[in-house]
Chain A
C-alpha cells in the first residue's frame, strides 16, 4: 500500500499551498473538549475561541493541521489543594518548550510556578490543536493562545471570589495563586475557588483582559529552570527508550542498505543460536518513495537489546538494491554543479539580470557545496508499541504526536480513536523525529508477535537509514559596476527536495524550501534572479534543523565576503550596503513566498531589524578588534524562521592548518520572548552544531550505500574543540513585536561567519563544506 501524499498531509510542513488539499478543521466546531480528569479537582470551563480572536497580530497557526485550540478546559486544571496542572502539548527535545508554554499560562492566570505541574499531552490534535513541534513555531504560534487561556482562567477565579465576598469584580485581583480584595485585605486561594470558578460565566471576548507586560513575573525574565532539570540530572527523566512494559520484547531491525532496496532472502540459523534471541521475522517495507513508512527488513526479537544486536550481526541477508543502487556522491556533486551552470526554473525575477551581468564591470562567481548531513540526535530513534486487537498504544520520542497517531492508525488499519500516542522526552530531535517510521516499525512488530515490543535503532542504523539533510550546489553570480556597487545578482540553487520523499518525480524545491534563503534574499539590488534547476533524489531527504537555510546562508554570506574582498571593503560595511535602506522588502515578484507559513503583514522582512542585529553583534562582538597573527574575524547575518540573527566568529588557524574558535558572538532578534535563558542555550548550541557541520559534516554514498556508520566517521564537535566563549546578545523586543523562531535560526549564519573568518585569517576561501582537511598544509 502506498500512502497518498494528499490523504495524509499532517507532517508536510510548508506544503500548505502547493500540494496539500486538506480541510482545516474549524476550531469552533469542536465539541468534545473534556477537562483533565484529576481526582478531587475541578476543571474550569471557558469559551472555545478561535486562535486569533484577541491576537494583536495574526500568525500562521490557524493554517496548521487542526489549527489552535484556545480552551482552558483542555489545558488547565485546578485541584482543591491548589495544585494547578497545565498541559504541554508540544514535544520537548531540548528547546525548553515543555516549560515555556505552560509558563505563559501560569503568568496570565497569576499561578505561582512552584505550585504548577506540567502534564505532557498525548497525541490528539482535535483536542489540543496542532502538535507538530518543528519549524521553530511553538512560541510564535502559541504565545497568544496560551495567554488567552491563562487570562480566561484568571478572570473566572476573580469573578468567583468577588461573588463570595459580595463585592464588585473590579475590586478583586488575582495575585500569586490567590484572589485578593485589596480594600478589606481578604484573600482566598485558587484551590478553594476552583469549585465556584467553574460555575462562573465565561468572560466574553470583549472583556478578556490580558496582563500588562510590565507586570510579568516570569515572561521575558529567564529565571525559571526547565521543569525536567532535576530528573535529568538524577537519571529519572523519561525518554523514548526508557519505557518498560511487562512482557516487553526488544528488537533491532536489519534494513535494506540502499534506500528503496528490498529483502530477497535471509538465513537466521546463526542468529537463533545467540543467547537471548527469541525470534526472527520479516518487517514489511514500503515501495519508494516511502514517505514516513518503514523501509522493511529483518527484525531480531530478543530478551534484551544487547542480544538482539548480537543476533542481528549473525544474520545472513540477500538484498535487492533497486533503482538507487548506483547513487554515488562524487558523481552526483558533478551533476549538481553542471545543473547549476545552466539556466533553471526561474523562481524570482526583478529587473534584467542577464543585461546587468553582461554590462557589469566585473562579475564575481561563487559556487558553494554542502553535502548530506545526518541528525545524529544523542538518542537514536526508538519506540515502544503495544498492539492488542484493534487497539494500539505507543510510547515514543516524536516531534509529531498527532501525525504519529494518524500514521499508526493508517498503517495498522485501525481507527485513530483506538491509537494512544504517549509522548516521552526526546533525546534530541533536529527534525529527524518529525518522521515516525520507528514508531510504525514498533507497531507492526507488536501486532505480529502479539506482545509489547521496543524497537531500538543503533547509531549505525541512524547514520545509514535516516532522512538526510539534502545535498546542494548554490551558484551565485554578482555583477559589480565600476564603482564597486552590486548591480546584478543571480542565485541558482540545486538540491534534491524533501518533497521527493512523498512524490517520486519531484525535481524542484517546494515553496517551503525555496523560501529558506533563496527567494527571500533581502539585499537591495536592482536586478535579481533566483533559479532552481532540476535535481533528482536517490535517498530519503528530510528536515534537518534550519533546513535549506544552511546551504543558502553559507552561499549568500560567503559571497558577501567575496565581494568585500573584491572591492577591498570591510565585510560588515559590504553587508550593510547590500542590505541597503531600512525598509520592508517588496517580494511581490515571488509567486509563492511561503514566509515560514506566516502572514507577511505580521512577519515582513524588515531590513531595519536585519541591520540592527548586524550592528548589535558588531558592537558587542567588538568587530574590527585587533586579533593575533593567524586569527581572523568573520561575520554573517541571516533571517530564518522569521527571526533575525547575526554572528561573528573569531577563528585561529595554526601553521599546520588546525582550526580553533576562540570566540563567537551572536545577536538575535526573535521578537517578544518567553525565556531568554533558553534562547541563550539554543544559540550556544547552534554554534556547536554550526561548527560540527562546517568542520566535519558529510554523509556520502557509494553503490547506493551510506559510507559512514558512527561518531568515528560522522564526527561532531566535542567539548575540547568548542568555542572558548560563546556570547549571546538578545535584542529587546519592540512594543507588540510578534514572537518568532529560536530553535533553528541560530545555525545558518555560523558556517559562513566561520569561513569568512578563515579567509580573513589565511586568505583561503572555503566554498565546499565540510572544511575537513582543506586547511592542512
Chain B
C-alpha cells in the first residue's frame, strides 16, 4: 500500500507502483484539473508541484512521490485566487485553456524560486509548457504581472 499526500489529503494506492502520477490523479482520485498532453514530459500540460518543485506528472510514478507533498491546480489556492491565477484572469490569457493548469503550476513554482524574474528568465522557465493556441505573449505578461504582486 502506497500512501500519498495530495492537496493536503492522505490518499492510498494498492495498484501498480509505477503508475504515472498523472493517471492516479485523474483516473483514480478524480482530480481532472491536471491534463494529459504528451506522456513524455515534452509539453508540460500535466505539471503539478511536488513539495516546491514543478514536475511533469506524466513521467513521475506514484512511488516517486511517497512522503512528499503533491499540489495540483485544485489545491494551489483555496479560492482560486493565487497571484498567478489572478494575473491570468486579468490578462485574459487562455484561449482553449487546456494547457493553462500546467502553465499556472509551472509559473507558480517558478515564482517561488525566483520572485522577480527577468523577461528571458520567464521565457526560459516557461519553455517546457506548450500552448498550441499560442497564448505565449499573454503568458509571459501574466507571469510578469504576478511577479509584481498585482
Could you list which residues of chain A lie within 8 angstroms of chain B, going by C-beta atoms? 92-96, 225-226, 228-230, 232-239, 241-242, 244, 250, 274-276, 303-307, 309-310, 376-380, 425-430, 456, 458-460, 677, 681-682, 684-689, 710-712, 716-720, 722-723, 725-726
Contacts and interface: CB of A to CB of B under 8 A. Distances in A.
B35 A379 contact: yes
Contacts of A305: 23, 26-27, 36
B98 A95 contact: no
B136 A239 contact: no
A182 B135 CA distance: 46
Contacts of B76: 234
A235 B100 CA distance: 8
Nearest to B143: A719
Contacts of A275: 15-16
Contacts of B100: 232-233
Contacts of B73: 234-235
Contact of B138 (A230, A310, A681, A689): A681
Nearest to B123: A720
Contact of A719 (B43, B88, B126): B126
Nearest to B94: A232
B95 A681 contact: yes
A94 B27 contact: no
Q: Which 3 A-B pairs have the closest CB atoms?
A: A235-B33, A688-B134, A427-B98
B134 A427 contact: no
Given A228-B97, A250-B27, A306-B27, A685 B134 contact: yes
B11 interface: no
Contacts of B23: 304-307
B32 A241 contact: yes
Contact of B92 (A378, A456, A681, A716): A681
Contact of A233 (B22, B98, B104, B137): B104
A507 B101 CA distance: 44
Interface string B101-136: 100100000000000000000011011111111111
Contacts of B80: 230, 233-234
B150 interface: no
A233 B89 contact: yes
Interface of B: 15-16, 18-20, 22-24, 26-28, 30-40, 42-43, 45, 72-74, 76, 80, 85, 88-89, 92, 94-101, 104, 123-124, 126-140
A458 B98 contact: no
Given A304-B28, A379-B98, A427-B96, A459 B104 contact: no
Nearest to A725: B137
Most buried by A among B19, B20, B131, B134: B134
A770 B74 CA distance: 39
13 contacts: A232-B97, A234-B74, A234-B85, A241-B35, A304-B28, A306-B16, A425-B97, A427-B35, A427-B97, A711-B40, A719-B139, A720-B127, A722-B136
A459 B26 CA distance: 17
Contact of A378 (B20, B26, B88, B98): B98
Nearest to B62: A306
A428 B92 contact: no
A460 B58 CA distance: 14
Given A720-B124, A720-B127, A428 B40 contact: no
Residue among B34, B94, B101, B140 with the highest chain A CB neighbour number at 10 A: B94
A307 B23 CA distance: 9
Nearest to B126: A719
B104 to A, nearest CB: 6
Given A688-B134, A689-B134, A276 B98 contact: no
Output the residue of A233, A427, A688 with the most chain B CB within 10 A.
Answer: A233
A71 B32 CA distance: 36
Contact of B15 (A96, A276, A722): A276
A275 B140 CA distance: 42
Contacts of A228: 94, 97
A677 B95 CA distance: 11
Contacts of A427: 35, 96-99
B137 A723 contact: yes
Contacts of B36: 241, 305, 380, 456
Given A250-B27, A275-B15, A425-B96, A244 B33 contact: no
B101 A684 contact: no
Contacts of A274: 16
A342 B138 CA distance: 48
Contacts of A726: 137
A326 B47 CA distance: 40
Contact of A459 (B15, B39, B98, B129): B39
A710 B42 contact: yes
B130 A378 contact: yes
Contacts of B130: 378, 711, 716, 718
A186 to B, nearest CB: 38
A94 B96 CA distance: 4
Given A456-B36, A710-B40, A710-B42, A688 B96 contact: no
Given A244-B32, A459-B37, A720-B124, A94 B137 contact: no
Contacts of B140: 719, 722
B9 to A, nearest CB: 15
A307 B16 contact: yes
A304 B27 contact: yes
Given A226-B92, A722-B136, 9 more contacts: A225-B89, A229-B89, A236-B33, A241-B35, A275-B16, A304-B23, A686-B134, A718-B130, A720-B124
B32 A242 contact: yes
B140 to A, nearest CB: 6
A292 B132 CA distance: 24
A533 B18 CA distance: 54
A224 B30 CA distance: 31
Contacts of B129: 719
A276 B23 CA distance: 12
Contacts of B135: 681, 684-685
A719 B89 contact: no
Contact of A244 (B16, B30, B104, B128): B30
A620 to B, nearest CB: 17
A725 B140 CA distance: 11
A667 to B, nearest CB: 17
A137 B82 CA distance: 37
Given A681-B138, A688-B136, A723-B137, A93 B39 contact: no
A441 B131 CA distance: 27
B127 A718 contact: yes
A276 B19 CA distance: 10
A87 B65 CA distance: 44
Given A234-B85, A459-B37, A710-B40, A684 B134 contact: yes
A160 to B, nearest CB: 37
A276 B13 CA distance: 12
A597 B109 CA distance: 48
Contacts of B133: 94, 378, 428, 685, 688
Contacts of B40: 459, 710-712
Contacts of B89: 225, 229-230, 233
Contact of A685 (B33, B85, B95): B95
A304 B140 CA distance: 35
A462 to B, nearest CB: 9
Contacts of B136: 688, 717-719, 722
A650 to B, nearest CB: 15
A309 B19 CA distance: 10
Nearest to A684: B137
